[in-house]
Amino acid sequence: MSKSLLGAALLLAASCAGAAGAPPAADAALIQQGRYLSVIGGCNDCHTPGFGLTGGKVPEAQWLLGDKLGFSGPWGTTYPANVRLRLATMDLAAFKTYARALTTRPPMPYWALNTMSDHDLEALYAFVKSLGTAGDAAPAALPPGVQPKGPVVTFPGPPPAAATAQR
Ligand code: HEC
């Protein structure tokens, strides 16, 4: 390889590396919008361990990794998914279809994803992808009546009919 060819190859490699490290401005704006949605949409409150208890002071590298803190109620026990792993196998089109049709057990506000505009879904997707994959999948959900092994937030059962009779 001639010197100039080698130089060109090195330059190309360097610019590719640069592109991977710092996204272009348009992508950066989209990612920033996704970061904003993750915070104001409350996604971190359940999907980022410790987020709610530290006033949101969890390094971004640990966001949306899912949690072993379960939610128990009449539906059994559910665990906030590792969103980064959940989205890993989806391209943008698949994610949009998924987000529009998603239903889950409580207390995941799936209607928030169902309702997001195209642009917001693109932003959320870009942000989650920018975090990369990390961590493990959340524990599998447990059916009603199965005692969870770890800590849970317990939702009260439906109120007795007497408590609501006067409404
Ligand atoms: C109140 C807690 C809570 C909040 C807030 C919350 N989630 Fe969840 N999320 C959960 C739980 C619990 C599950 C597991 C539900 C199940 O197993 O049926 C879940 C599941 C998911 C899944 C996987 C669903 C599947 O079965 O494929 C995704 C993706 C997800 N949430 C994304 C989000 C996003 C994005 C936001 C913010 C807009 C958000 N969640 C807000 C608790 C929450």
b/e 143-154 (16+ beta carbons within 10 angstroms → b): eeeeebeeebee
What is the strand order of the sheet 152-154 is part of? 76-78, 70-73, 152-154
Phi, psi of 126, rounded to the nearest 5 degrees: -60, -40
Atom of ligand 1 nearest to the CA of 83: 29
Is residue 10 predicted with pLDDT exceeding 60? no
Contact between residue 49 and residue 136 where contact means Cβ atoms under 8 Å apart: no
What is the pTM for the complete model shown? 0.85
Tell me the C-alpha distance between 155 and 95, whole Å: 30
Is residue 7 predicted with pLDDT exceeding 80? no
* Residue bearing the bigger pLDDT, 10 or 112: 112
The residue contributing the CA closest to ligand 1 atom 22 is: 81
Which pLDDT score, from 0 to 100, does residue 156 have?
Answer: 86
Residue 4 DSSP label: H
The ranges assigned to domains in the chain are 25-155
Atom of ligand 1 nearest to the CA of 99: 29
Q: What is the mean pLDDT of residues 36-59?
A: 98
The residue contributing the CA closest to ligand 1 atom 13 is: 80
pLDDT tens for each residue of 119-150: 999 999 999 999 999 999 999 999 999 999 99
Distance 86 CA to ligand 1 centre (A): 10
Q: Which of 113, 87, 89 is CA-nearest to residue 100?
A: 113
pLDDT tens for each residue of 56-110: 999 999 999 999 999 999 999 999 999 999 999 999 999 999 999 999 999 999 9
Distance 67 CA to ligand 1 centre (A): 10
Which residues contact ligand 1 via a Cβ below 6 A?
Answer: 41-43, 45-47, 71, 78-81, 83, 86, 104-105, 107-109, 112-113, 141
